[in-house]
Structure formats: C-alpha cells, structure tokens
C-alpha cells in the first residue's frame, strides 16, 4: 500500500509542476465548446433538442478526461527510455503495486482535469440541472479516468518508443471520442453506428456524465457505472500482466 501511495503522489507532483501541460490541455475543450457549442447551437435548437451547450458540455468533459488519461502512458515510455523505470522496478515491491500506483495517479490527474474542464463549461454558459448529483458525477469521472489510464499504461507497457505510442493513441483516441455520442444524440442512429456506440467504452462514460449533469441518459446510469467499473477491473488485470513482463 505504501508503494501505491508513493507512486500516486509522484504522479500528482509531476502534474502540478507542469503548468504548460495543464493550460495546453484546455485548448481543445475550449475549441469544441465555442466553435461547436455556439456554431451548431441554433441548428440543434431548431431541431427541437434544446440547448446544445447543455448537451455538449458532458461530452467535452469526457474528452478532456480521455486525452489526459490515455496519454498518461507516455510517461511510462519516457521513464523506460531514460532509465527511470529501472530504478522503480528494482525496488522491493511487486510490479502489480507499481502499475496500480501509476494508474491511480494518472486517473486522479485525469479526474482533476475533468473538474477543470467542468468549471470552464460553467464559464461558457453550461448550467447543470442539479448539484445533488455532483458526487455521482465525480465518481463517473474517476471511473472513466481509471479505465483509460489503464489502457494507456497497458499499451505503453508493450512499446518502447514515443513515435509508436503516439501513432497508436492518435489512431485510437479520435474514433473513441467522435463515436461516443459526445457530439450527437445516440437515439435514431443507423444500425452500424448504434452497434459501434454500444461497444465503445467512452459512450458509457459520456452517457453517465450526461445523466448526472442534465438528467438525460440513453443507457441508464446504473449500466454506465457497471460497464465502466467492470472494464476498469479487466484492464487493470491485463495491464498488470503486461507491466510485469517489461524488461529494462
């Protein structure tokens, strides 16, 4: 437990020290909120779907979490290339504890990033229907963060260079986001898109955040939480296996 806590704290210190990373990660959420929120808002309203900013905000929050969480794996590649990981692996603790500590640290950072984006949406004009579900909103953010941080760590455990990691992440992240229902309603889609959204883990995260913030859920918040929690456990198990096989 001590090793997990130390690695969690180390991840947080890295994040706090990187002010440029914090500021830079807000660029895309601002772009989506302003360009799409105000640009497509009148069209969305004329279609009878209400305020597009309210609909879009949970998806943009999920996007901020996704990018921060999944790209946290690049720190593992960095540590591996420059020898810092070897110092950690020779410590008298299990590799599973190291992997869990790193993942929890990355998930906490991604959750904090999600809160920053949430505050940003309030400035833009988003208003949640009720603050009573704010604890549920935080739990959902953490589950999204935990799963995608574990995904990033798992992939980073299999790679040894930055280029390969970035190529895979760019290929993975954008389809996950655009096919999650973050930008459009999930009802009334074609059978192919319906199937894709149903097997997209981020779709359940976006749907859960939307349910907690604006009381509009396609799958049901109970199912959203169950899917995210189950996938997080599976990915932590898979990630621990591949992390244990790293050779430095």
> Can you list the pairs that 31-37 forms with residues at least 24 positions away whose Cβ atoms lie under 8 Å?
32/56, 32/60, 32/63, 33/57, 33/60, 33/120, 33/121, 33/124, 34/124, 36/183, 37/124, 37/125
The vertex-158 CA angle with 152 and 163, nearest 5°, equals: 75
List Cβ neighbours of 21 (8 Å cut-off, separation of 6 or more). Answer: 15
Q: Can you give the pLDDT at residue 243?
A: 75
Q: Which residue has the higher pLDDT, 136 or 98?
A: 136
The vertex-123 CA angle with 119 and 127, nearest 5°, equals: 80
pLDDT > 90 fraction of the chain, expressed in percent and rounded: 28
Tens of pLDDT, residue by residue over 216-240, are 888 999 999 999 999 999 998 888 8
DSSP 70-135: HGGGHHHHHHHHTTHHHHHHTSSS-HHHHHHHHHHHHHHHHHHHHHHHHHHHHHHT---S-STTHH
Tens of pLDDT, residue by residue over 71-118, are 777 777 776 766 666 666 666 667 677 778 788 888 888 898 899 899
Q: Using a cut of 0.75, tell me whether the model's pTM lies above it.
A: yes
d(CA 27, CA 69): 16
Tens of pLDDT, residue by residue over 37-67, are 777 777 777 666 678 888 899 999 999 899 8
Q: Tell me what the pLDDT averaged over the chain comes to.
A: 81
Rg (CA), the chain: 18
Q: Which residue has the higher pLDDT, 152 or 12?
A: 152
CB atoms near residue 18 (< 10 Å): 13
Q: Can you give the pLDDT at residue 118?
A: 92
List Cβ neighbours of 223 (8 Å cut-off, separation of 6 or more). Answer: 204
d(CA 81, CA 55): 42
The sign of the CA dihedral 92, 93, 99, 102 is negative
Question: What Å distances lie between residue 53 and 39, 41, 138, 152, CA to CA?
Answer: 10, 7, 20, 29
Does the pLDDT of residue 204 top 90, yes or no? yes
What count of residues does the chain have? Answer: 248
What crossing angle do the helices spanning 52-70 and 201-214 adopt, rounded to 10°?
A: 140
Q: Can you give the pLDDT at residue 45?
A: 72
Does the pLDDT of residue 139 top 80, yes or no? yes
DSSP 181-226: TSSS-STT--HHHHHHHHT-HHHHHHHHHHHHHHS--SS-HHHHHH
- In which band, very low, low, confident or very high, does the pLDDT at 12 lie, cut at 50, 70 and 90? low
pLDDT > 70 fraction of the chain, expressed in percent and rounded: 78
Q: Can you give the pLDDT at residue 141?
A: 95
């Amino acid at each position: 437990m001590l090793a997990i806590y130390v690695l969690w704290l180390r991840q947080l210190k890295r994040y706090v020290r990187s002010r440029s990373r914090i500021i830079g990660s807000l660029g895309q959420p601002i772009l989506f909120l302003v360009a799409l929120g105000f640009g497509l808002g009148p069209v969305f309203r004329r279609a009878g779907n209400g305020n597009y900013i309210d609909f879009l905000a949970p998806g943009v929050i999920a996007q901020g979490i996704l990018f921060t969480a999944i790209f946290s794996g690049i720190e593992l590649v960095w540590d591996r290339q420059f020898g810092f990981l070897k110092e950690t692996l020779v410590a008298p603790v299990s590799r599973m504890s190291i992997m869990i500590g790193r993942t929890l640290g990355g998930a906490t950072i991604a959750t904090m990033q999600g809160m920053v984006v949430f505050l940003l949406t309030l400035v833009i004009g988003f208003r949640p229907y009720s603050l009573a579900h704010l604890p549920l909103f935080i739990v959902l953010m953490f589950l999204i963060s935990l799963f995608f941080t574990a995904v990033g760590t798992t992939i980073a455990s299999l790679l040894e260079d930055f280029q390969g990691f970035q190529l895979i992440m760019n290929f993975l992240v954008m389809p996950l986001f655009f096919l999650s229902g973050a930008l459009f309603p999930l009802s009334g889609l074609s059978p192919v898109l319906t199937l894709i959204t149903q097997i997209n883990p981020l779709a359940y995260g976006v749907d859960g955040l939307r349910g907690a913030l604006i009381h509009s859920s396609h799958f049901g918040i109970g199912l959203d939480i169950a899917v995210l929690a189950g996938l997080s456990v599976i990915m932590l198990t898979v990630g621990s296996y591949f992390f244990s096989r790293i050779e430095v």
